[in-house]
Amino acid sequence: MCHVVNAHRGSTLAAVDRPDGWFADQAVPRLLSWAGRLDRHLPGWEIKVFGGGRQTQVAVRGLDIPGDNLAAVRLHMTRAGLEAVAWHVGGTGSRMVLLDIATGGVWLSHRPRPDLHDPRLPLRVSRPPGATDAPATARILRRLPN
């Protein structure tokens, strides 16, 4: 599990003060590397992606931080040849994610911000493990930032 705050180190002015795990371009490959050391049987992995909620109505300094973060996560997963079985991303507000490391169970609480509006999101996608790229899932994922 990792929590991405920015897409890449160059995306924030205060980047020099942040740990590597703060950035998708460092956190996601590192997470996949660590997980690969524990279990090289990739078909058995179950990947779920949560987050990317907009916290302000307008982009900060012209950046789309939530969109950039989601795009970076998708890019690194694609490079690794991995597909998530579930996505709950975008929209507004915050999410709390609980992971039971003994069972792999994941619980999500999403608190949208009623004072903000994002008509495209949140996107909710759930695929059975091992499912091929179903057309409906592919259409929904195309709506995610690329």
Q: pTM of this prediction?
A: 0.74
Q: What is the pLDDT of residues 50-69, one digit of tens each?
A: 888 888 776 666 677 888 88
Would you give the distance in Å from CA 139 to the centre of its chain? 18
pLDDT at 74 over 60: yes
pLDDT at 13 over 60: no
Q: What is the pLDDT of residues 15-27, one digit of tens each?
A: 567 776 778 888 8
pLDDT for position 128: 60
Taking the C-alpha atoms of residue 33 and residue 40, their distance in angstroms, rounded to an integer, is 10
Q: Sign of the CA dihedral 102, 106, 107, 110? A: positive
Q: What is the pLDDT of residues 90-126, one digit of tens each?
A: 888 888 999 888 887 888 888 888 888 776 666 777 7
Strands 106-111 and 123-126: unpaired
Phi first, then psi, for residue 60 (nearest 5°) are -85, 120
Taking the C-alpha atoms of residue 25 and residue 124, their distance in angstroms, rounded to an integer, is 24
Rounded to a whole number, what is the largest CA-CA distance in the chain?
Answer: 44
CA dihedral 133, 29, 118, 131 (to 10 degrees): 20
